[in-house]
Amino acid sequence: MIKKLNELVLPMQRRIEVLFYLMVAFALLGPSVGIAITPDFKLTFFRVAFLLLAGVLIIRLVTHKKIETSDLHPVRWYFAFFGFWFVYSIISLTWVADMKMGIRYTVFLGMMLPLALSFPYFIKTEKVYWRILKILFGVFAVIAIYPVFESITTIHLPSSRHFEDVGNVSVTSFFRNQNDLATAMTILIPFLITALYILNIKIKYKVIVYGVLVFALFSLFATGSRSNTSFVLPLILLTTIASVPFTVKRKQITLKNIGISIVLTGLAIVLVSGISMVALSETAKQRINEKIGSTGDFIDDVRNAASNQDENYENKSGKSATERTELIFSGFEFLQKSHYMGVGAGNTEAWMETKGFRVVNIHNWWMEILVNYGVIVFVLYMALYLWMIWRLWKIASHKSNQVVSQALRFGALATFISLIGFFIGGMTPSTAIHYTPMWCLYGIGLAVIVLGEKQLKQKENLSAVKNA
């Protein structure tokens, strides 16, 4: 009888896991993979997979009267905070200026929070962990490679704001705009770089990873994103280099390996330049060079806008710097007027419209949380974010596979670097409430903490028994 029950339960569990994998893959591919129901609504495959998975879990809860959560104890405060955040979002609807915006934003929050939490819930073994990493790698590889085709043909996907703009040389891949794609690449790049020297995988797989890294770098530069190219990329590279002595065994840090790293870096630069020469039009090259080359002017424009030194000052890098600075200062003004409780779910844009701004999205994830939800939610979010970074570093800094497995050390280090990069990268997308790469990154971090700290605890218990 028990054997028959197990035979029924195991296939069901596998089906649920498959739904989880599909949900994650479709989440990253976004609106490009779906069916348009109305001009204003698209039934994405992510939403279908999300609702199916939620329905199955609810049925299981009703049938079995419980859901196994004992493995989630290390991340219980994240579950608690996310629950509080969602409830706060619902309560904030009582004081929002625009109810439609508030409900829409709360619905997005209600989907993204479970997306992040689904990672530690479903990734209970290293086998599942490896499987989801392979799926993420495959999906991100498609996202990173498509811009080459997009640059040559100027064929944009339905999710792009340039979809019907025939001949537009901008690259957006599966995202709405260039900044979203650029931020996705700076989230991906740390995983590709660390995989090359942390993971003990076959050479042919390292060649594949390296190839995707080259395409990711091309996609990043092709976007012309100043923030991600001039600030986030150097930050993650410096963080990676600084972490090497603490995450790699001393005997592996040899002149030979350093030389190989330098050669591979130089080769990547040559390959990215070669792809750019072939794939990018002269118009695209000129636009990218002008945008990235104006980074210094952008900083000057931000500094002037922030200090209001010269009312007759003429922006040297376009309107973006002034607009973003004004959005941030207005955000602080709205926060004060809301008595630091926040203007309510998704209502930053509604308040910005009263100022008559051309752009109303605040373009800063940290300010988005602060202005929408107030000081309490923001402080808790940042505290847990920093705590995650610290815990991931503790896992990554164990150099021995006998303490923490190689796969988990890789995941911890890559996520650690990506989360640090996102401090600046999060200031690029117009909004991050439905920016799935960020939520998936958060989820991977939680899953690595659960599995990694479990291994550390087992090692400590084993050492205690031996010393007893």
pLDDT tens, position by position, 106-126 = 999 999 999 999 999 999 999
User: Which position has the higher pLDDT, 74 or 299?
Assistant: 74
CB atoms within 10 A of CB 86: 16
| 365 vs 323 pLDDT, higher one | 365
For the cut 90, the answer to whether the pLDDT of residue 49 exceeds it is yes
Q: Is the pLDDT of residue 405 over 90?
A: yes
pLDDT tens digits for range 155-165: 999 889 888 88
Tokens 């991906």 correspond to 188
State both tokens at 298: 């952008």
Residue 2 confidence (pLDDT): 44
What is the reported pTM? 0.92
The residue-averaged pLDDT of 219-235 equals 94
